[in-house]
């Protein structure tokens, strides 16, 4: 009872705008401390107002510098900002390897820029369930913009699509490896592409290559048209028309934009912000903002089901002597993997069958 009261007080303090409470909540979320689920559940009804921007790209592309400048520009416009930097996990502690670094030079001491470095915790895409929950905490707190800077993990970075409203991919000029990486799959997730360090002589060529690749991707005769982000385009209205009543036989599609910046000098940041605003307006006007949110919640439910079911089965495995004993029995041909799994899942299946009846 006392723990429940403490959690309720923490939620109230966060909703009242106390940064210390926000920090404590995100710590509980990242550590998966007892009661964190109840806290996130209580915050959920207060979410849905923040614009979530994902920043990704290969290491060395200048993501941290660009995020710093973006945050400073948003603050100048009177907006509050929350930043989550998803860093590689330490193989020893599971914590963020780069978590203690000085990252936000332009915003040090500004209480309206909340920065947190979090561990990727082995997730291939660099994002974890904890990151999505931390975004909810920042949203409920009242941050206008939430920026997620992620590990540059190549095509596996697609997890960010399920968390951000707008995905920004940074590319270094003259980096053939970066362009090849985009061809390998990350091209599909970008709403905005930023050629950073645009003062380098090879920047124009990189811009041209990106624009050509975007054209090929959007040309259904050039490649299979699978819908942006590798998902089917969501229906905007049941009759195939826009919800605002304008007759359209085809729903509008966003063509990814290419922006050039020199982040260290702040050049191009204003143009980038305009482009991000344009994409968010596009999402709102076409109904895709709500469609993406529904997709995000569907995936979150699936992920939580996978995690919780896996946890239940791991405990059942331990209760029956551990997976090693089953592996030994399979090795000795006393049973087989399918029979083992059927035996373990059987009680859960029976319970669900009984509930349906």
> pTM for the full model?
0.82
**Residue 111 corresponds to which tokens in the numbers above?**
């209480």
User: What pLDDT is recorded for position 154?
Assistant: 46
Report whether 5 contacts 35 (CB < 8 A). Answer: no
User: What pLDDT is recorded for position 51?
Assistant: 97
Name the stretches of the chain with pLDDT < 50.
90-103, 122, 124-126, 154-156, 223-250
State whether residue 60 is helix, strand or coil.
coil
Report whether 307 contacts 297 (CB < 8 A). Answer: no
pLDDT, one tens digit per residue, over 89-127 is 544 444 444 443 444 555 555 678 999 988 755 454 335
Q: Rounded distance, CA 113 to CA 67, Å?
A: 11
User: What pLDDT is recorded for position 163?
Assistant: 87
User: What pLDDT is recorded for position 31?
Assistant: 87
Q: Rounded distance, CA 12 to CA 66, Å?
A: 33
């Amino acid at each position: 009872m006392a723990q429940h009261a403490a959690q309720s007080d923490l939620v109230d303090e966060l909703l009242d705008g106390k940064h210390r409470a926000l920090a404590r909540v995100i710590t509980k979320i990242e550590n998966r401390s007892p009661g964190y689920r109840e806290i996130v559940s209580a915050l959920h009804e207060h979410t849905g107002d923040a614009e979530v921007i994902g920043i990704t790209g290969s290491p060395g592309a200048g993501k941290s510098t660009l995020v710093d400048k973006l945050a400073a520009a948003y603050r100048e416009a009177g907006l509050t900002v929350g930043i989550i930097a998803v860093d590689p996990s330490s193989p020893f502690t599971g914590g963020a390897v780069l978590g203690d670094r000085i990252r936000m030079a332009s915003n040090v001491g500004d209480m309206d820029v909340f920065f947190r470095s979090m561990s990727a915790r082995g997730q291939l895409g660099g994002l974890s369930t904890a990151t999505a929950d931390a975004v909810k905490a920042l949203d409920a707190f009242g941050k206008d913009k939430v920026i997620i800077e992620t590990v540059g993990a190549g095509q596996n970075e697609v997890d960010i699509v399920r968390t951000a409203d707008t995905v920004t991919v940074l590319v270094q000029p003259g980096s053939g490896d970066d362009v090849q990486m985009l061809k390998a799959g990350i091209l599909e997730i970008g709403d905005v592409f930023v050629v950073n360090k645009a003062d380098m002589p090879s920047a124009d060529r990189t811009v041209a290559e990106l624009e050509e690749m975007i054209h090929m991707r959007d040309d259904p005769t050039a490649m299979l048209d699978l819908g942006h982000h590798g998902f089917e385009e969501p229906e905007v209205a049941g009759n195939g028309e826009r919800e605002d009543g304008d007759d359209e036989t085809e729903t509008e599609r966003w063509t990814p934009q290419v922006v050039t910046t020199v982040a260290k000098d702040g050049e191009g940041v204003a143009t980038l912000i305009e482009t991000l605003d344009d994409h968010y307006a596009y999402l709102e006007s076409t109904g895709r903002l709500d469609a993406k949110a529904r997709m995000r919640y569907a995936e979150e439910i699936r992920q939580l089901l996978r995690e919780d079911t896996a946890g239940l089965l791991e405990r059942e495995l331990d209760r029956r002597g551990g997976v090693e004993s089953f592996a030994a029995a399979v090795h000795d041909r006393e049973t087989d993997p399918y029979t083992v799994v059927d035996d373990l899942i059987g009680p859960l299946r029976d319970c669900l069958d009984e509930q349906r009846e």
